[in-house]
Amino acid sequence: MLQSKLFTKTKKDAPSDETSKNAILLYRAGFIHKELAGVYSWLPLGLMVVNKIKEIISQEMEAIGSSEIIMSTIQNKEIWEKSGRWDDEKVDVWFKSKLKNGNEVGFGWSHEEPITEMAKSFVSSYKDLPIIVHQFQNKLRNEVRAKAGVMRCREFVMKDMYSYFKNEEELNNFYNNCIDAYMKVYRRIGLGDMTYVTSASGGVFTDKFSHEFQTVCEAGEDNIYIHKIQNLAMNEEIFNEETLNKMNLKKEDFELKKAAEVGNIFNFGTKKSEEMDMYFTDNDGIKKPVYLGSYGIGVTRLVGVIVEALSDEKGIVWPESVSPFSLHLISLAKNENGESYKKAKDVYEKLKSQHVEVLFDDRLEKSAGEKFGDSDLIGIPMRVIISEKSLAAGGVEIKERKSQEKNGEIISMDQFLHMYLKDC
């Protein structure tokens, strides 16, 4: 992509009511546009990041047997009444509206009930199970406060997955596979070292826990207790004598950290299927309730957490796997006729022909300082500068975004092309 053609421009300042670091940086770098508090639009660079995260999640969910679907945002009140969750007293984030004929509808803040209703229509026998589906959906939630930028929104992208099994053992098995798949996702997007499988209240089975995935992050809203030796953590709600005794752990072995919930998995057992009347006939001829699990990942919250966790004073630092581009090619030429512009353009064409994801700063009117500032703010992991100076020094200047050095390293043009092109 040519930077001169990118319609977004970097901005010096964010709106004055924007106080969170992730929103300020994403806004200034041109990744998001603010519609209203807690509601953001995703612009080309931002959408590229969202799509990369979605692709990684999709791969890992498909690897454990899930198929992708997409459910509607407008939801049927009657389906939610079956579980009692239409009630605003039970669910305090509903956005609701009315059809012209006066019938009430809801906007999806979650999809457990509608998906279960859909899955029900395909299940009568044990032979019809399991069903495992996931989707990427814009969830709408009337959150009281939207204060942490893209981390707590009134409209946000969630990956939600639902599983339907014929017995507890199969569900538990899948649940554990899902924990592994989630950790693979967090590792692949660069948050592995900071993310903990965290026990929380709310499970229905033997250990009575559900699991949250918490990424250590100052801007997070949660407090978690991390075990100093074992790789485990507990949500503050369950961090008490009773749980510690049950798990045979000592209070003093834990340390308290601020964290953001980046995922959440839930074993419902047969509770939800009993509410929703989802039964199947087993191979012994007996009618039984289906075992249900639900599994969420906050896709757009993750973008915020990555920015919070990995940025520096100059701007964003994307991990390679989710960066909008893998390379930021910068020409310092002031006109198109000189040697350095032609070389840069030629390199850009070569990279593009081999599908290297490259953003080419071809803007002739911008100063070197402005270009470097923009590049630091946007945060592409690798930068290559082609200028009269670099050519005179023997080639191109390369520098990793995360490097704290002032200058990059000069390497020959051939060496550089070898790094990125297969056949040269």
Is there a contact between 224 and 234 (Cβ–Cβ < 8 Å)? Answer: yes
Site string for ligand ATP, 108-137 (x = CB under 6 A): --x---------------------------
CA-CA distances (angstroms) from residue 237 to 200, 202, 232, 253? 7, 10, 15, 17
Q: Least distance (Å) from ligand ATP to the CB of residue 228? A: 25
Residues 263 and 230: their CA atoms lie apart, in Å, by: 21
Q: Is residue 152 at the binding interface for ligand ATP, with CB under 6 A as the rule?
A: yes
Among 18, 143, 168, 357, binds ligand ATP (CB under 6 A): 143
- Complete DSSP assignment for 173-194: HHHHHHHHHHHHHHHHTT-GGG
Q: Is residue 141 at the binding interface for ligand ATP, with CB under 6 A as the rule?
A: yes
Among 158, 178, 217, 224, binds ligand ATP (CB under 6 A): 158
Beta bridge partners of 305: none
Residues 135 and 132: their CA atoms lie apart, in Å, by: 11
Among 220, 296, 324, 379, binds ligand ATP (CB under 6 A): 296
Q: Is residue 188 at the binding interface for ligand ATP, with CB under 6 A as the rule?
A: no
Counting beta carbons within 10 angstroms of the beta carbon of residue 170, is it exposed (0 to 12), middle (13 to 18) or buried (19 or more)? middle
Nearer to ligand ATP by C-beta: 108 or 379? 108
Eight-state DSSP code of residue 145 = -
Q: Is residue 264 at the binding interface for ligand ATP, with CB under 6 A as the rule?
A: yes
Binding part of the chain for ligand ATP, among 70-78, 164-172, 255-263, 270-278 by CB under 6 A, reads 255-263
Q: Least distance (Å) from ligand ATP to the CB of residue 70? A: 17
Nearer to ligand ATP by C-beta: 305 or 359? 305
Nearer to ligand ATP by C-beta: 153 or 396? 153
Nearer to ligand ATP by C-beta: 143 or 282? 143
Radius of gyration of the chain (CA): 25
Residues 258 and 221: their CA atoms lie apart, in Å, by: 7
Among 50, 194, 262, 410, binds ligand ATP (CB under 6 A): 262
Q: Least distance (Å) from ligand ATP to the CB of residue 190? A: 16
Three-class SS state of 348: helix
Beta bridge partners of 214: 196, 261
Q: Could you list the residues that contact ligand ATP (CB under 6 A)?
A: 110, 141, 143, 152-153, 156, 158, 261-264, 296, 298, 300-301
